[in-house]
Amino acid sequence: MLEKSRYINAGGKLIDLEVPRVMGIINVTPDSFYEKSRVNTDKDILSRATRMIEDGADILDIGGYSSRPGATDVSSQEEGERVFKAIKLITRELPEAILSVDTFRSDIARESVVGCGAHIINDISGGEADPGMFPVVEKLNVPYILMHMQGDPGTMQKNPVYDDIVADILKWFAEKIFRLQSAGVKDIIIDPGFGFGKTIEHNFEMLRRMGEFSVAGLPVLVGLSRKTMIRNTLGIPVDETLNGTTVLNTLALANGADILRVHDVKEAVQAVRLFSRTKKS
């Protein structure tokens, strides 16, 4: 097993992953699965970003395309209008914030970084949806979150099948990582993609075996926040899934997660702080 990378260089700002980090989700969309995560006006975007930073977020993840199953397709132009406005606003008003753009489109990724000031590219398709994504990442050489998804948002939950969920995903990661590293990309973060082309059983098996993803020697990001695996297991609506999210995030931390991507920053930061105390002698 390779020793896991400890630092990420995000626009000259070093993120030390010795202590797990928290990424706050800012959805500039009208249809993300968790209604309370949606913000659209300048005032609401800035208020949400400010609150997340005050609550301890290390990274803000800006997304303008809902990837929930069955979501309406959004044109590149509309996605760009949403995310570019938000990134520019936050960069101007909160210049110390580290920003990630959540997109699978290379043109959106490029402009978000070069024209708007984002520091990280978060691609739910791992380069599968747009063949131009890897060349953009290679040219910009910014941190890249490589997420696994079987299928696409419209089809991913229609009977996803694996021989061995973790082994299959690790094989997929290995091919992508080799290409990126061969091109000189230095900072790669892997995300196994909870809920993206996985059944609930797949999700819980990945969580149990999450330590195996460390074999890649790269930081691991997990997105468990308010997911269907919580709602369906407990039989509760999305508004009541914060406690379940905290439980699963804590299990993920215990199994080697380096970054938690969440809707509720304050509670995730508290989980990290309490978990970190158990690691001290």
H or E segment to which residue 228 belongs: helix 228-234
Q: Quick check: is 261 catalytic? A: yes
Distance (Å, whole) CA 212 – CA 217: 10
Radius of gyration of the chain (CA): 17
Q: Which residues contact 120 (CB under 8 A, 6 or more apart)?
A: 8, 10, 59, 98, 99, 100, 101, 142, 143, 144, 145
Q: Which of 105, 226, 227, 231 is catalytic?
A: 227
Which of 214, 223, 163, 13 has the alpha carbon at shortest distance from 99?
A: 13
- Count Cα neighbours of 189 within 13 Å in the Cβ-side half-sphere: 31
Distance (Å, whole) CA 255 – CA 139: 33
Q: Which residues contact 140 (CB under 8 A, 6 or more apart)?
A: 110, 113, 114, 121
Q: Which of 261, 266, 277, 279 is catalytic?
A: 261
Distance (Å, whole) CA 181 – CA 187: 9
Tokens of 4: 């896991």
Q: What is the DSSP string of 4-40?
A: PP-EEEETTEEEETTS-EEEEEEE-SS--SSGGGB--
- 212: three-class secondary structure by DSSP: helix
- Positions annotated as catalytic residues are 227, 261
